Amino acid sequence: MRNTLSYALLTEIGKVLIILTVLMFLQYVRHEGAPDASPRALTQAEANATFEPLRPPAAAAR
């Protein structure tokens, strides 16, 4: 009984590890063809150009 439980547990852990490995590989392959495959932080100029400037609420504009 003990060997059967141990074998079943190891089998399930092995299945999970194989599934996770396949999913991570597929994600890697999917992002490999992206235009910018190496992610980087935005520079301050890029961040400023990305966001709209803050506007005052309509009540304060009157």
Closest listed residue to residue 21, CA positions, set 11, 29, 10, 33: 29
pLDDT tens digits along 4-50: 889 999 999 999 999 999 999 998 888 776 666 556 776 777 777 66
Structural domain includes residue 48: no
Structural domain includes residue 28: yes
Structural domain includes residue 59: no
Identify the domain containing residue 5 by its residue range. 1-32
Structural domain includes residue 3: yes
Structural domain includes residue 17: yes
pTM score of the predicted model = 0.47
- The total number of structural domains that make up the chain: 1
Structural domain includes residue 27: yes
Distance CA 36, CA 59 (A): 43
Task: Please give the structure tokens belonging to residue 26.
Answer: 């597929």
